[in-house]
């Protein structure tokens, strides 16, 4: 066995592909974001619009860096961002995200814990809009496009789903007002559901749409905190109060029990459909 063969095996190992992907995509986006911030800071553009432009730039840079890296690295066509079926995936994904978040808020409302304080100008949706699509595209590309997809190739759909979900939940433990309970909740709400969405659609547009709609509806429309972070401007200024189990407390509705239950049900439905349609990938040792 020569050194070239050893080097090729190391380069094509799953862990290597994940690490390189995270470093390259994260690094390019980080540098690009810094540069666009410096350029925008030199202008007199409104702060909210600066953040919107920055978010669009980061989103495009994320998709481009991922696509070119893995097209070259894995020598294949990047179907994860295919235009085929994009309208269907975005429409259904946004609809599902809105419904799941609305059901979560509905429980709070029915328990007497949600009330509208003020309805603000329409331009107040710009900050949460910027946050929602930027985080959806960046996080889904890294977590579902890189971590989950590459793990799934070797370990199969179910094991990759568990590992990537736990990683997603653990990383959110660092968020403001987070706890072990909220971390587990996010592992199910986002990790499990969005991973199941990728398995079912076999592209990133579907989980991106769900992720975007969930965050945007939660913040811009219902005026709630997102993963412990309060948004400065929202279309509706709301007051959420009551027991932590159904309001999520200061972490926001994602910390509630109903959010986890609704997302778990949706994930189970998607996984069941994926199984029936033969979209579940087996671990490599079961294919021998």
* Any domain includes 64: no
* Any domain includes 201: yes
pLDDT of residue 29: 96
* Any domain includes 68: no
* Any domain includes 223: yes
pTM, entire model: 0.94
Bridge partners (DSSP) of residue 116 are 238
pLDDT tens across the length of the chain (288 residues) = 445 688 788 888 999 999 999 999 999 999 999 999 999 999 999 999 999 999 999 999 999 999 999 999 999 999 999 999 999 999 999 999 999 999 999 999 999 999 999 999 999 999 999 999 999 999 999 999 999 999 999 999 999 999 999 999 999 888 888 889 999 999 999 999 999 999 999 999 999 999 999 999 999 999 998 888 877 789 999 999 999 999 999 899 999 999 999 999 999 999 999 999 999 999 988 876
Rg (CA), the chain: 20
Among all chains, which residue has been given the structure tokens 């669009």?
56
What is the span of the domain harbouring residue 190?
85-286
* Any domain includes 39: no
Nearest alpha-carbon partner for 151 in 260, 284, 54, 47: 284
* Any domain includes 155: yes
* Any domain includes 278: yes
Query: 111 Cβ partners below 8 Å, 6+ apart?
Result: 242, 243, 246
- How many domains does the chain contain in total? 1
* Any domain includes 38: no
């Amino acid at each position: 066995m020569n050194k070239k063969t050893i080097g090729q095996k190391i380069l094509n190992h799953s862990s290597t592909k994940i690490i390189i992907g995270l470093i390259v995509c994260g690094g390019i986006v980080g540098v690009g974001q810094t540069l666009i911030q410096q350029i925008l800071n030199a202008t007199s553009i409104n702060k909210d619009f600066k953040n919107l432009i920055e978010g669009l730039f980061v989103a495009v840079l994320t998709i481009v860096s991922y696509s070119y890296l893995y097209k070259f690295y894995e020598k294949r066509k990047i179907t994860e961002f295919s235009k085929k079926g994009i309208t269907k995936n975005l429409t259904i994904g946004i609809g599902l995200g809105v419904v799941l978040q609305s059901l979560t808020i509905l429980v709070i409302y029915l328990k007497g814990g949600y009330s509208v304080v003020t309805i603000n100008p329409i331009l107040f949706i710009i900050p949460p809009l910027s946050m929602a699509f930027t985080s959806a595209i960046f996080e889904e590309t890294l977590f579902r496009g890189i971590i989950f997809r590459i793990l799934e190739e070797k370990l199969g759909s179910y094991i990759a789903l568990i590992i990537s979900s736990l990683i997603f939940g653990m990383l959110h433990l660092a968020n403001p007002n987070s706890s072990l309970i909220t971390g587990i909740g996010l592992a199910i709400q986002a990790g499990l559901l969005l991973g199941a969405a990728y398995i079912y659609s076999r592209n990133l547009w579907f989980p991106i749409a769900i992720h975007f709609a969930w965050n945007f509806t939660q913040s811009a429309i219902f005026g709630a905190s997102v993963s412990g972070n309060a948004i400065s401007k929202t279309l509706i200024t709301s007051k959420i109060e009551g027991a932590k189990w159904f309001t999520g407390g200061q972490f926001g509705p994602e910390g509630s029990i109903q959010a986890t239950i609704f997302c778990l049900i949706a994930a189970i439905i998607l996984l069941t459909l994926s199984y029936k349609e033969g979209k579940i990938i087996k671990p490599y040792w079961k294919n021998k």
